[in-house]
Amino acid sequence: MPNSKVSVLMSVYNGEKYLCEAIDSVLNQTFEDFEFIIVNDGSVDKTNEILNSYRDRRINLIDNKENAGLSKSLNTGLSRARGEYIARMDADDISLPERFKRQIDFLDKNPSIGLLGTSVEFIKMENVAKGIYRPPLHHDEIKAYLLINNCLWHPTIMARRDVMQKVGGYNDSLQAAADYDIMVKIAKISKLRNLEDILLHYRCEDNYYTKVRRRQQLECAFETSLKTFQYSMKDIVIDREAYKRWWWQFHWLLAGRHEKWLFTIPKFERGDTKHIKYFRDLIERYPEGKHIWGAQLKAFEEQIMDYNSG
């Protein structure tokens, strides 16, 4: 059997609630030349029963006997992938029917782009719209954003398989935010892009587990941001604790009201404000990133300086 154009990677752990809807959204894509690699990561609910109920020849099931975690499971799937492109999919989201076609058309026409994301619409448990995320679109904008956090929504991405292999796949030593880590690595060897089109519905559940998980993601994202910032500054040694205070305060400013509880923000110490200058210097290296961070940095200076002087 010839290799498919696209390998779709999904890992699922106890995902019975929305799994059928997620799988069906992939199988019902208008572009049909793909293999669908699904890793059952040690589920103990009805996930296995649901997966084995499908008879589509494009589905390739992998069964982890024990829960290995998302990054390890994705690397297992990536090692089996044979497609030119790798498309990510989560077990509770919905890919819109034209998603694969739109992304493949773009990547085929733009060989310099190594990884492509899209805008997303957030949905609640019963598929009720909750909001829209429109990310920065172009490479320089994305690189500027990646200094501080990820802006490529992981389940929307489609990447060239050879690019993902060159960076060694996902860092499975990270407990969370491995997607941010791999985006930063890919940005060093290839161009990144986001489509403005909404091509995925991303499910948001507001419960204690997801909030704890979000905090864990932010903690891991800080580590990646620190490494990215240091790499970009090269000749300037960044004080870890000072940058940590700066980073958490800045994210507190960016957070919506429903996420403010995630942040215990330490006040600046003498000399910490130099990180604002460092960040402005970096922005100058990515001119298209000015409209991503410029106004927000000004607001940060005004609001956080008031906070620190209180």
Strand partners, 41: 64
* Cβ proximity of 227 and 220 under 8 Å: no
Answer whether CATH 3.90.550.10 is correct for domain 6-203.
Answer: yes
State residue 162's pLDDT score: 97
Cα distance from N-terminal residue to C-terminal residue, the chain: 68
Q: Give the start-to-end residue ranges of the domains of the chain.
A: 6-203, 235-309
Per-residue confidence at 26, pLDDT binned at 50, 70, 90? very high
Global pTM reads: 0.89
Is residue 130 classed as helix, strand or coil in its secondary structure?
strand
> Each residue of 150-202: pLDDT tens digit?
999 999 999 999 999 999 999 999 888 999 999 999 999 999 999 999 999 99
pLDDT at 2 over 60: yes
| Beta strand segments in the chain, E | 6-12, 34-41, 59-64, 85-88, 94-95, 113-123, 129-133, 158-160, 191-203
State residue 287's pLDDT score: 67
* Cβ proximity of 191 and 139 under 8 Å: yes
* Average pLDDT of the segment spanning 276-303: 71
> Each residue of 191-228: pLDDT tens digit?
999 999 999 999 987 655 566 787 888 889 999 999 98
Angle between helices 290-309 and 274-285 (to 10 degrees): 180
pLDDT at 310 over 60: no
State residue 44's pLDDT score: 96
pLDDT at 1 over 60: no
> Each residue of 229-268: pLDDT tens digit?
888 877 778 888 888 888 887 777 776 545 555 556 666 7
pLDDT at 274 over 80: no
Per-residue confidence at 281, pLDDT binned at 50, 70, 90? confident
